[in-house]
Amino acid sequence: MSAQAQIKRQTVVDIVAHKNGQPVVMLTAYTAPMAKLFDPHVDMLLVGDSLGMVLYGMDTTLPVTLEMMIAHGAAVVRGSQQAMVVVDMPFGSYQESPAQAFRNAARVLSESGAAAVKLEGGEEMAETVEFLVRRGVPVVGHVGLTPQHVNAFGGFRSRGRSEAEADKIRRDAQAISDAGAFAMVIEGTVEQLAREITASVNAVTIGIGASPACDGQVLVSEDILGLFTDFRPKFVKRYADLASTVSDAAATYADEVRSRAFPSAEYCFGVKKG
């Protein structure tokens, strides 16, 4: 048996085993090459609807379509071997009814090859989560700052600062966990609230701008790689500065093309040496 054939993808059971144990490592990925680079180091790859902003230059995630999510999800599955791949359900693809959510989630899983879907919302989505889980669709929830609700929230801001807001997020998290979500992203919440939720729900909690006490962490890959220079969220730690590297490489290439230094003989066919 080849080494590649022996590689086993992370499953729901594997991820659930991280509860109160070693933290889950999750990164976003939208393309096969990036998935291949991240795959040996992470437990989960999230094909987030953030791709609308990261790859397509959209102002929000709202215009992202189901077809976009399926196409990028399939690319990430093809580029990875061992990480569990989770695909976001885009805005409008699951809120209408549990039946609509199942039809579209089934498309995501069957057409992309991903192992689970992620959807936003709390108490109002609990019935849908339960409907999906009962029909064999593994679900990751998403509470706190939910980007698809940006218009209702009046922008991107941290959540849970008032007691009323914090109590709503607690109820949302409990409802989604009780409905059967095996994991949930807690985004942009005050630290103590995310800590409390992690201790109170059965689902594996994955923080982003939340708490080190969460059962795992996720960040947008382009953020940690330093590919964006105009804005860095408070919760992002940069592990590289690739924007400068990429820009410098492009500048050097441009200079060599304009000076005819590239392509030199070694990069051409049929040119004899010496």
| Residue ranges at the known binding site for 3-methyl-2-oxobutanoate | 49-50, 88, 118
In contact, 172 and 121? CB cutoff 8 Å: yes
Tokens of 136: 């064999």
Residue 66: closest CA among 38, 45, 96: 96
Around Cβ 68, how many Cβ atoms within 10 Å?
18
Q: How far lies 75's CA from each of 43, 47, 84, 146, 169, in Å? A: 17, 10, 14, 25, 33
Tokens of 126: 């609990």
Catalytic residue among 123, 124, 130, 187: 187
The secondary structure element, H or E, covering residue 98 is helix 98-112
User: Is 187 part of the annotated catalytic residue set?
Assistant: yes
Side chain identity at residue 32, one-letter code: A
Q: Which residues are annotated as a binding site for Mg(2+)?
A: 49, 88, 120
Q: Which residues are annotated as a binding site?
A: 49-50, 88, 118, 120
What is the rounded distance in angstroms from the CA atom of residue 157 to the CA atom of residue 147?
10
Which residues are CB-contacts of 218 (< 8 A; sequence separation ≥ 6)? Answer: 26, 27, 28, 44, 46, 185, 206, 207, 208
What is the rounded distance in angstroms from the CA atom of residue 251 to the CA atom of residue 247?
6
Locate tokens 């103590």: which residue? 192
Give the active site residues. 187
